[in-house]
Amino acid sequence: MAIPERVQPVLDEVRPLADRFTSAGYAVYLVGGTVRDLLLGRPLTRDFDFTTDARPDDIERLLTGWADAVWTTGKRFGTIGAKRGDREYEITTHRAEAYVPDSRKPDVQFSDRVEPDLSRRDFTVNAMALRLPEPELIDPFGGAADLVAKRLRTPLAPEESFTDDPLRMLRAARFLSGYDLEPDADLVHAVEALHDRLEIVSAERIRDELDKLLVVERPGRGLWFLVDTGLASQFLPELPGLALEQDPIHRHKDVLAHTIAVVEKTSADKVLRLAALLHDIGKPKTRSFVPGGRVTFHHHEVVGARMARDRLTALRYPHDEVEAVSRLVELHLRFHTYKMGWTDAAVRRYVRDAGEHLDRLNELTRCDCTTRNERKAQALDRRMDALEARIAELRAKEELDRIRPDLDGNQVMRHLGLRPGRAVGEALAMLLELRLEEGPLEEEEAYRRLDAWWAARAPAD
């Protein structure tokens, strides 16, 4: 296969490294995603991966003096890392390992040939190597043809591949979406049969792979794959749980289809996409039937926020991301009261409650409308445009993004002669309510209101 001209700049960049290995009598290959994306003409990451027949000690020796930094944290698995300039490199001895059943760690065995190493990679589109320094494509499993045919296969039998590393089943969802591929029938059958092996994979690895899926441009195909094969039930059972009809009489779109549509409409922002994925997970628990055959989901946003917090915590998401997503889920219906007309105080509370996630909340609200009724969709857009205009107007008049009491705790304590305690907190809460209801107060007026509140409260103390 002819090497495309666009590959030449990469070959020029890695030649000095390749020459060090070949001069020492070792073979070296560029492998993995870099080769795949070079063939597709896609932008490359900052990291380059190589494989070689040199053993880890020899790799470390060859990198010393060439790289700006060398690290050996993966040495027992055959990998030496390095950095030169802005580029990071991982060079790994050819491997022919197999994972021990029910273990998260590979049983590493080194190989002198590249083909066994490629056979142990996840998919054929990632099982290609470019021999260096004079380029020769090594493609024993037809990965280049699969890229052209838009087919996702494993180099070995999928049962063997997924038994070796069950996370590969979840990774398949990302490749289906990210590269617009169709899964081979044997691959699908293997995932359906082996999805429960995902239980031996750590929550952190599952979380990281889910994140990568969610930020591809169109994650819908991968999300359907997770549900249809049973994978989602292993780490996100709330997702297949959404496959229920919203309206059994009129057979309106089901919640799962709606959810995936919302995810695809949102920007590729991880927190926003997580919120879109989880925004309706409270519906199954809150579903009730009312006269006439209609279905309601009262307070599903509150229930869903708790469920989102529990699920993301179980997946080991950072605390700030858990709080951000659960907050967006809790607030995703707030906007819909705007059709009844909002006071300035209501706008202030909306901005205060959304905090730094206001733009995400507004986008989630817009994308939550998946109706095919153009009139309804346009009406929602007009209302959101009006709300955002109101927010802009208030921002021009006051510090809307930093709403706080007009007096601070020290001022309250000095004025009332108080020590730190509950009364100070109650005074600040009262002043915050005034700020939300009436906007900024002059300092003199704030003290007058504080005195009036204290006078009315004092007899109760």
Q: Buried b / exposed e across 358-394, counting CB within 10 Å, b at 16+?
A: bebbbbbbbbbbeeeeeeeeeebeeebeebeebbeeb
Question: Domain map of the chain by residue range?
Answer: 5-149, 236-400, 404-460
Residue 253: pLDDT band with limits 50, 70, 90? low
Q: What is the pLDDT of residues 313-366, one digit of tens each?
A: 999 999 999 999 999 999 999 888 776 667 888 888 888 888 889 999 999 999
For 44, which DSSP code?
P
> Which CATH code of 3.30.460.10, 3.40.50.2000, 3.40.50.300, 3.90.1150.10 fits the domain covering 5-149?
3.30.460.10
Q: Which residue's entry shows tokens 């069950």?
A: 166
pLDDT of residue 349: 83
Summarize pLDDT for 162-215 with one digit per residue, the tens: 998 999 999 999 999 999 999 999 999 999 999 999 999 999 999 999 999 999
Q: Evaluate the omega torsion of the peptide bond into residue 219 and state whether it is cis, within 30 degrees of 0.
A: no
Residue the block writes with tokens 């209302």: 383
Q: Does the pLDDT value for residue 289 go beyond 80?
A: no
Under CATH, which number does the domain 236-400 receive? 1.10.3210
Q: Which DSSP symbol is given to 398?
A: S
Output the six-digit token pair for 285.
Answer: 């628990």
Asked if 257 contacts 244 with a C-beta cutoff of 8 angstroms, the reply is no
Secondary element (H or E) of residue 88: strand 87-93
Cα separations in angstroms, 272 against 223, 230, 326, 336, 377: 16, 25, 11, 19, 21
Mean pLDDT rounded to a whole number for the chain: 88
pLDDT score at 406: 75
Residue 7 has what pLDDT?
Answer: 85
Q: What share of the chain is helix, strand, coil (3-state, %, to 5)?
A: 60, 10, 30
How many Cβ atoms from other residues are within 10 Å of residue 146's Cβ?
21
At 344 the pLDDT is: 81
pLDDT digits 0-9 by tens, 438-452:
777 788 888 888 888
Express each pLDDT in 168-183 by its tens digit: 999 999 999 999 999 9
User: What single letter denotes the amino acid at residue 127?
Assistant: A
Residue 156 is predicted with a pLDDT of 94
